[in-house]
Structure 1
Amino acid sequence: MTQRAELATVLDRLAVDELVTAYAVTVDDGDWTAYPGLFTSGGRADYRSSGGIEGEAGQVAGWLAENLARFAVRQHLIVNRRVRFGVLEHDTGDTARVRADYFNPMRLTDGNGSAAPDLESGGRYDFGLLRTPDGWRIGQVVVTEKWRRTSAGR
């Protein structure tokens, strides 16, 4: 591999990492207008394993907005990121697969602004990414929840 190819790969890895981080921050901050912009046209998200829906990014943003509104505090920690670049139309690096684990602590509200029990969950994200003229975007993300608990259950 030439130095130019190695540099391009490093830059792609940084861009992919930034996209995955932007995904977490967008969900945690409830920026539902920005959420679909992280995806390709027709990009999809699948939250069925955690009791959610599967659908086009705009539809899922609406579902997330409605269902996460009851949490006063949300924080994603996405770790153990494994990035693999793929081939599309004979060009290396036009696609990427990212497998990453997540830990997601959240604080429920009781509807009156008071803190209710905490909810924590963990699992894995599988991102399918595509290089577009606007940079890397999510074609598909699948959430696989592996566990959850509330502070009341400790």
Structure 2
Amino acid sequence: MTQRVELATVRDHLAVDGLVTEYAVAVDDGDWQAWRGLFTPDGRADYRSAGGIEGDAGAVAGWLAESLRGFPVRQHLIVNRRVRFGVWEQDTGDTAEVQADYVSPLGRAGQDGASAEPDLVSGGRCAFAVLRTDDGWRLSGVVVREKWRRAPDRRAAPMIN
């Protein structure tokens, strides 16, 4: 592999990784226009394992906006990202798949708008299908596979150090 090819591969890896980060930030910020802009025109998302819907990115963005309205405090942590390029048949270096684990604490606003303990925490794995377009790397599909969910017990005694 030449240095030029290696550099292009590193740049693509960073761009795809950045796309996944933008996905999480858009959800946390509730910026559904930005979230939708991360997808190809025919991009789809599947949140059925988390009690949601599967459909085109616009419809899913609407569902997310409504579902997360009651949880203004969000912080999606997407970790253990595994990026694989050229995973589709007859690929020319313009596709990638990312598998990444997530932890997602969601909370209602605390008193006076201050942050509060999470009201719901879930975790699982996301599968991102990514396509190089004229506008850069975009998501053609996202599948969320929730593995666990818990609501913290508000009656538990506070931790003492």
Same fold (TM over 0.5): yes
1:118: Cα distance to partner? 1.6
- How many residue pairs match? The answer is 153
* Superposed CA offset, 1:30-79 (max 9, x none): 00111111000110000000000000001001000001000020000000
Alignment of 1:36-115 (within 5 A): 36-86=36-86, 92-108=92-108
Q: Structure 1: how far apart are the matches of 2:118 and 2:14? A: 36
Unaligned residue ranges in structure 1 (runs of 5+)? none
Letter aligned with residue 82 of structure 2: R
Letter aligned with residue 10 of structure 1: V
Letter aligned with residue 50 of structure 2: S
Superposed CA RMSD in Å reads: 2.2
Please say which of residues 87-96 and 41-50 is displaced more in the overlay.
87-96
SS at match of 2:107: strand
1:89: Cα distance to partner? 8.4
Conservation of the 8 A alpha-carbon contact between 1:88 and 1:94: no
Letter aligned with residue 128 of structure 1: A
> Identity of counterpart residues, as a percentage?
70
Alignment of 1:131-150 (within 5 A): 131-150=132-151
Conservation of the 8 A alpha-carbon contact between 1:128 and 1:141: yes
Tell me the TM-score normalized by structure 1: 0.91
Q: Structure 2: how far apart are the matches of 1:88 and 1:50? A: 27
Give the number of the structure whose residues are more often strand, by fraction.
1
Runs of 4+ displaced beyond 3 Å:
87-92, 113-117
* Superposed CA offset, 1:65-108 (max 9, x none): 00100002000000000000016785542000000000101113
Question: 2:22 corresponds to which residue?
Answer: 22
1:127: Cα distance to partner? 0.3
Tell me the TM-score normalized by structure 2: 0.87
Q: Structure 2: how far apart are the matches of 1:89 and 1:72? A: 41
Q: Structure 1: how far apart are the matches of 2:4 and 2:73? A: 43
Letter aligned with residue 99 of structure 2: R
Conservation of the 8 A alpha-carbon contact between 1:131 and 1:137: yes
